[in-house]
Amino acid sequence: MKKSFFLFFLLSSQLHAKPCTNLVSKMLELYPDQNTQMMITRIKNAQDKHMFMRAFIPYYYKESFEIKETIPVFQKLKNHRGQIVGDAHVGNFGLLLDNKGKPAMTLVDYDDVGEAPLFLDVMRLSQSASYVDDFDMTKFLEAYKRGLKGTDHQVSQYMTDLQAKSIKGGQTPKAKVLTTPQGPRFGEKTEPATALQPAQQKSLEKVLQTKFGKNTKLHDSYSTMKESGGSAYGTRYHGLVEIDGKITFVEFKEIMKGGVIGWGKKAATDGKRVEGAMNTYLGKGFDENLSVVKIGDKSYQMRFKTEGNKAIDVSAVSKKEVENVIADEFYILGTLHRRSLGNTNTGVTAYAKDLETVSIQEWEDSVKVMKKVVKKAYNAGQE
């Protein structure tokens, strides 16, 4: 009897430890290429509401589209559309080196870009900031408007220091590199790490040689994937590559389905979707650090993992300056939306005019609508 009771108790504990069955089913509809166990792992790894919001981008946009009429800013701003970041959150902006080694403040992760109303980015970044602390949105929105209008913005001391570190780091590989008789090797590998087959190595080297010349060499490589975040379970190839006699760290990150569903036009392919956003946000002169390539029948973001390319890390910022750093991110978002509107006075002016009709209270109430949605789903995942 005691043994039977123990087995029943153990089974019940395991069942209750798993996320809500209904939530898993909803998520699998949005991620048809993933299985139940993958989804349970992903939900379990979203350890707080902020991480949940960032991990399940399609869920956020599907739910927001279905209740759009209840979002206070929707009616006033719904007609101002363009290329949006999609996964706008604190820490998803930073510095990217151009081909000449000059850092630019921009978006650092292009996985979930798409076409939709611009206010969605502002609302989502505001929600992300609210999970960091209880900020007054006024400062953030003013910084966003400066970026949109192309007016001056005094960046935080953190950002000034980050720019200096970016220039100093340059193209130095962001990896521990060992010198061996067989050539350069990774000193540490991201787990899980899977060795590549010769055919896979050849495919990567062919892509690299096509872009950087026939003398480009792939010295060491492996495959890995994340089990959390918006791009969880997408394949990544890491390679130590020799280009023009210099060793660098290149990542090939699989481009998966974008998260902005319901709101926008569907791109011809997901590769074209990401490539289009890079062209809009960056323009020319960045393709040696970030570009889209084909490996087999899939598209990947090819990006250099160097000390010069730096994402903002609010956990490294003093409590006193966090608000200023997040304001920098809103400013960057504004500059991206300006480019999305084509830098034309007509589009920017019309959008800026309508922005002025939206009160802080309407923005805060819009964020609260989606915070309730995320809270409900997150709590279901804890059942």
351 or 4, greater pLDDT = 351
pLDDT per position as a tens digit, 360-373: 999 999 999 999 99
pLDDT average, residue stretch 285-305: 94
Name, of 16-30, 207-221, 344-358, the range with top average pLDDT. Answer: 207-221
Task: Provide the pLDDT for residue 171.
Answer: 92
State what percent of residues in the chain have pLDDT above 70: 95
The tokens of 122 are what?
A: 């502002």
Task: Provide the pLDDT for residue 44.
Answer: 93
pLDDT average, residue stretch 195-223: 96
Residue 9: is its pLDDT beyond 60? no
CB-based burial, 194-226: b 16+ in 10 Å, e otherwise = eebeeebbebbbebbeeebeeebbbbbbbbeeb
Residue 100: is its pLDDT beyond 70? yes
Residue 12: is its pLDDT beyond 50? no
Task: Provide the pLDDT for residue 265.
Answer: 77
Nearest by Cα to 176 from 165, 167, 185: 185
- Confidence label for 2 from pLDDT (cuts 50, 70 and 90): very low
Task: Provide the pLDDT for residue 268.
Answer: 80
213: left (phi over 0), alpha (psi -120 to 50) or beta: left
Q: How far is CA 380 from CA 25, 55, 109, in A?
A: 12, 15, 28
pLDDT per position as a tens digit, 253-294: 999 999 999 997 777 899 999 999 999 999 999 998 999 999
So where are the chain's domains?
21-169+313-381, 177-304
CA 101 to chain centre: 23
- Confidence label for 17 from pLDDT (cuts 50, 70 and 90): low
Task: Provide the pLDDT for residue 31.
Answer: 94
Nearest by Cα to 104 from 270, 323, 344, 335: 335
- Confidence label for 14 from pLDDT (cuts 50, 70 and 90): very low
Q: How far apart are CA 90 and CA 311, in angstroms?
A: 10
Q: What is the pTM of this model?
A: 0.93
pLDDT average, residue stretch 165-182: 95
- Alpha carbon dihedral 167, 171, 172, 176, in 10-degree steps, equals 130
Q: Is the peptide bond before 192 cis (omega within 30 degrees of 0)?
A: yes
pLDDT average, residue stretch 132-148: 97
Residue pair 94/331 in contact (Cβ under 8 Å)? The answer is: no
